[in-house]
Amino acid sequence: MKATILVTGGLGYIGSHTVTALYEAGFEAVIVDDLSNSTEAVLDGIARITGVRPEFYKEDLRDPSAVNRIFAENSRLEGIIHFAASKYVGESIEKPLLYYENNLCSLIHLTKEALAHGVRHFIFSSSCTVYGEPEEVPVTEESPVLPAVSPYGNTKQIGEEILQDVAQAEDLNVILLRYFNPVGAHPTAEIGELPRGVPQNLVPFITQTAAGVREELKIFGNDYSTPDGTAVRDYIHVMDLAEAHVVALKRLLAGENKQKVEVFNVGTGRGNSVLEVVKTFEEVTGKSLPYSFAPRRAGDISAVWADTTKAERELGWKASKTLADALADAWRWEKKVRKIK
Ligand code: UFG
């Protein structure tokens, strides 16, 4: 019998790609999503890729009775991958309560019901934002967790702490995955990133600019102390990131985790500047991208990328796709969305 996994936020960007990776690996998924930043059409994309239309609940995890019902109706759940959360740094500064309520109340309700229903395996979407502006790069899992600069970042830190405390007190095994910058789309272009409104993140802004939806890319800051002056990040293909969830899940289900809470960086181990991303995009697509420099964006750090030694050693997982692969896939997806030949 296939193991069934509850995937919260399973119609979102990382969640939907992970659902396809789960099916590919022989799992079954039950999806819950409030559609606050996705649409039910994503379910069709998943179905075209996997041949299966997973069971889907349109529910808000802030509602404890909804969470209870999902567990009560799915007695075979063996694990949870919890993606559902609000994710925009800037918005979180403007609407802190929304972020604390949405990201933390949901986590609490979900964890409570998991324990009540005997679900012992939990994977949490954390973020490299917990490292703040690191003194040394690359960052390892031992690098200091610095005070969060946004309510969003704080919800990730507090989320990690909640799970640490609960796992020590209860029968719960947790893997915290600290994502770097997920980019790209499923190679079939059946699913991808579909931000609402003006994209906040670099790659969707680039692809929308290339598609003519935006006039030009503004590069925030060219006076960082990096080789070309623009900020450096670790851009990981969303399918590599999805695969990291599958291996983490298998580790938990097989009882191979060495501690009740384990933390892994999920990045490529490479840093690329904004200008390098732009250049790579131009090379891969043959399109020239209009851009100009603008002041630094508030809250941005200069450079962060992952030391991935621990994930390689413990999970046997390593990112296999390049930045060029990710940008080609992101562009294929954007063209499909915009109906560009
Ligand atoms: N950038 C631009 N122009 C844009 C958009 C982004 O120059 O229009 C730059 C940013 O200044 C940054 C880089 O591109 O230097 C990457 O920016 P993103 O917004 O794509 O990603 P961030 O690194 O800022 O954010 C990511 C996640 C957040 C998370 C944050 C910190 O998307 O969820 O890392 O961990 F909070």
139-196 residue pLDDT tens: 999 999 999 989 999 999 999 999 999 999 999 999 999 999 999 999 999 999 999 8
Query: Atom 30 of ligand 1 has which residue's CA nearest to it?
Result: 129
- 88 flagged as catalytic: no
Q: In Å, how far are 60, 163, 327 from 35, measured between CA atoms?
A: 9, 25, 26
Distance (Å, rounded) from C-alpha 151 to C-alpha 220?
Answer: 21
Q: What is the DSSP letter of 147?
A: P
Distance (Å, rounded) from C-alpha 211 to C-alpha 338?
Answer: 7
pLDDT tens-digit series, residues 297-324: 998 999 999 999 999 999 999 999 999 9
Mean pLDDT to the nearest integer, 201-215: 98
Testing ligand 1's pocket by substitution, the residue of 201, 273, 301 carrying the most ligand atoms inside 8 A of its CB is 201
Q: Taking all residues of the chain, what is their mean pLDDT, rounded to a whole number?
A: 97
Mean pLDDT to the nearest integer, 260-280: 98
Helices 64-73 and 106-116 meet at what angle, rounded to 10?
30
CATH number of the domain at 202-233+269-338, please?
3.90.25.10
Testing ligand 1's pocket by substitution, the residue of 14, 89, 133 carrying the most ligand atoms inside 8 A of its CB is 89
CATH number of the domain at 4-183+235-266, please?
3.40.50.720
Residue 210 has pLDDT above 90, yes or no: yes
Residue 1 has pLDDT above 90, yes or no: no
Nearest CA-CA partner of 203 in 328, 301, 294, 92:
328
pLDDT tens-digit series, residues 17-68: 999 999 999 999 999 999 999 999 999 999 999 999 999 999 999 999 999 9
**Beta carbons of 149 and 132 less than 8 angstroms apart:** yes
Asked if the domains at 4-183+235-266 and 202-233+269-338 fall in one CATH topology, the answer is no
Domain map (residue ranges) of the chain: 4-183+235-266, 202-233+269-338
First to last CA, the chain: 43
Residue 295, preceding peptide bond in cis (omega within 30° of 0): no
Q: What percent of the chain has pLDDT over 90?
A: 98
Which of helix, strand or coil describes residue 46? helix
Alpha carbon of 202 to ligand 1 centroid (Å): 6
Tell me, what's the pLDDT at 22? 98
Sign of CA dihedral 139, 143, 148, 152: positive
Alpha carbon of 250 to ligand 1 centroid (Å): 31
Element (H, E) at 192: none
* Ligand 1 atom at minimal distance to the Cα of residue 203: 20
Alpha carbon of 307 to ligand 1 centroid (Å): 19
Nearest CA-CA partner of 81 in 24, 134, 138, 3:
3
Burial level of 320, CB count in 10 A (0-12/13-18/19+)? exposed
**Beta carbons of 249 and 162 less than 8 angstroms apart:** no
* Ligand 1 atom at minimal distance to the Cα of residue 301: 15
pLDDT tens-digit series, residues 116-137: 999 999 999 999 999 999 999 9
Amino acid letter at 154? N
Nearest CA-CA partner of 19 in 330, 243, 203, 176:
243
CB half-sphere exposure, 241, CA atoms < 13 A: 31
| Token pair 């009560």 in the structure block, residue | 72
Burial level of 118, CB count in 10 A (0-12/13-18/19+)? exposed
The values of phi and psi at residue 273, to 5°, are: -80, 165
Query: Atom 14 of ligand 1 has which residue's CA nearest to it?
Result: 202
| Token pair 């006076």 in the structure block, residue | 223
Query: Atom 4 of ligand 1 has which residue's CA nearest to it?
Result: 202
Give the β-pairing of 232-233 and 272-273.
antiparallel
Q: In Å, how far are 177, 242, 280, 303 from 252, measured between CA atoms?
A: 13, 16, 37, 32
Tell me, what's the pLDDT at 24? 98
Nearest CA-CA partner of 201 in 305, 292, 89, 333:
89
